[in-house]
Structure 1
């Protein structure tokens, strides 16, 4: 794995401990709302909430060790988290001032001060990474029978203890140097003052496309380089009393994000909407409104940022520059608010009574100014350089032809589909299970390790609802899918080997379709050909969704006759308004899709006559559609017609029975096996 790919793994693992911060922010925020003057000294209830939140903040270092070990483990098992905890205890105990004094036989007051700071997030990350690597390497080891109890996952915490002893020995001599370097870096950044905050914010946005902003954040937001901005801010009164925080200063690496996330990006969304073509504005409005609301209310900006990040990179660079300027202004003016999750309305409200929040309300007028700046700059840049932001292409991405309507046939648009179906389709889009080596998720993106990123079908991923695909290198890919990322990732892991087959490579495009081996399986239902014509292998269909089996498994037919019949007895659950396709559920539960031609939805129903209605029960061979073949052959992109079982994963597979010429209602096309 490349350095970039490994850093990406560390970055996404950091999200595990960071995900605990909203709990701390809410608890402490409520406490300060109850007692904004006494900070818990005048209200037992306020003290209850503040102390509960500080329990998380005060133990962030061990949470980093546990979270990183868990997040980087190959199977996300609790044993990996335990390994991280054990490693952290061993290292911090051995490198504590008392232990160093005893081991090195020197007075405690002569022990370098760096050992008094051994419990910090940097050490937590280091231990987490080591623990995860040991877990991934040794969790499958089998010991001799006499020691079999300690095999596998039980072996790893024991092994980690011994490895960490060696690490602790090295740290006894290197930690003062490492700690001094980190502190020196932090001091240099702090000496830059507001400018340093602005530079950090610029790179924070610029690194989002590759997912490394989390690693950068850990330097400024947590106690890696001595800055520790978020925990110190959330600590409020306790941080002030302990001398860890200064009103007007602590929080400067956070405050300027509020005007951008709550106001600036919604201004960009409005500009993108106004620049969309008239025929696309309705669809773009829905996308932009959802993204703008998420940014304003929760501070989650990726749905908006990824809508223009790749189609108009210049806009994203402008966005990064404006973010840096905003953070610089807020830090210079000492307009401070902080967050435990992100810079949205909820976090602003919760932090408003924190004793470290100074002139926080001024971030609102600053935000209104940035709303106008974003709107004007984005609109001017889009129109001046004719940038292809959402809605400015001739058709909104994903609306063409059958990629979208087949999503409907399988249960609605992407947002309405169940996670299992989407997971199966995304596995196909990234080259199939054989190409996948690791699956993970961030808030809005699938983070995938693959054998060959060139096999990832970006067009298909976008048809499924993804807003972007990032190929970090040959083995690392990110797919931006929105808030359902974790649900889809979990479903992808659960599906394992059952998902759809990978999209064929050009070298395979002429291969004959082979039936799934089902020699011992029982036939559930036999399907007759729905139309007379010539059999075509599914991987020959000129549509990625069908050819890769993302829609389902089956075969295709090029019709030579006008009558289309039901391939089996069942219920017509869907006939499209354009009459070009229908869905049938058999009595055995098989869900069949008969799609006449490719891109025929664009014909708006011309060439098709409906002979039955939705909800009707039909018998095998009963006429369903009538075709005007002369018109269709002259006007359709292709009349190759897929016939697939969309829920084939519920069965053992299918066995092809036909090749060459088939007759509607008579020739057995394929058997679905139990």
Structure 2
């Protein structure tokens, strides 16, 4: 759990990093408006800052989904966005009205109004999306649903999971909210003690978003207190008897010493407790967050930096906040805010007739700066709290190494180690069937060890480039190798015993009768041994044939289902109803062209018939790029094929029978 919370805290640093700048924009706009100037410039600054602050929950959902995913893939971030949008829509007041069959929108429990930009929902959505990514990003669905396999499945599962969570919250959230409102009304009768309890729970509930329930009691009109409204009304509220000097503002004043002095002092303590090698990085974060807290009263950048990685420190912060509100309420020192308890609103409060001895809040702030500094410093050092800059570095951010249950992860680990690990591997890429690798020195590669894994072949290109033939599932192996590369695994010397990928007996069987195979295009039919690529000519991928095309159209050589379409469009995998796997590879080394010469008319999971147009290839573009245009057909699970008979070299028409295959 400790490691999980630390990862969560680190993941929040990505969205938190943008908050100080947004806070400053809002603070500057409020400052200018407070001086009586309101124009397009102030509106622009205000909206620019609020564009970030009003979508804090969304930023948390995306940031957590990305940071908590096992390989920091962008599809996890997309899943976080999807996961967040589900409860935002399902639990919106208008939606709840329809779901519960209420006649009027006003009948909807006010609890659901807190769902908008709710940080708790953002956190739950982000963690859910990350969990779905880690669980389903490599799941392979049955053939009919294969289009939705892997990373495409993650947003779907995230949406379903959040739909279930939304259904639960639909009934639980109002009850929790109502309990907190009732609790707030109860403690509002306790004077300065009630103010202290409010301050404590206000901070403590921020991670859940339920602090709004208490705010509605003390700051607004739910219980008739309306502390913010009556304070801002100034002399008018005094004349009407709605405001009382020394009392109105008691639920706001205590936040000024905390946000202007206490938290910045706590940030200094966090910086000084950071490791020497991380102090520079910690200083930049703490300085920006502390200034945002002091100047604008926006504390999220600072609070969320330690809220999860050092939650006992956050509880201590909540205690200090409660004490601050109790002290200011006890002495009847009051001030108020329209935005938050930063310097801008404090300065504006000085002119408000409802404020009472507001300068004493500066004295209180100086005292609380000392309390926060020494309190934070003691807690961090005494309990070894992992505040920013103190995170454990050993194995940090290292993804889980492959387990024996995942054959692709095991195979990737073996190949990666044989290549020389991080010390030798430079670039990991792949085409349809092979890993295309750049290494520091191919002489350091243990080719025999790679061949022992059972891969079809290894091809050294030059001193720094090598290719490993894996097969049509090469993408999964490449993904695992990329994870190893990011994790910093060195060489295979650290592995005590080699991991062997279990070679299961090929169970694919074909009917005894012969199946006809058709030419994918018009041109010269040649045996696969004449293809100018040893991976194919040496039958590393299996037996087959090729056509040197004279026309741009490419047709299906056999009926079946599209198994996969490579992102660069140069290769298509087909599986027949009987389990025969066929790879149609258009051109040689055409993966380098990034799909430009190819127009495809099929997609993964689609049923196709023999002779159906599946692609158009710009042969002229291939020629200009110096690429051979061979249309190569390979039967990749050839162990299940008893006999393959292909005609001798001849000119053929598209969709003409060129051979027979027998199981």
Q: Same fold (TM over 0.5)?
A: no
The TM-score, its normalising length taken from structure 1, stands at 0.40
Higher Cα Rg: structure 1 or 2?
2
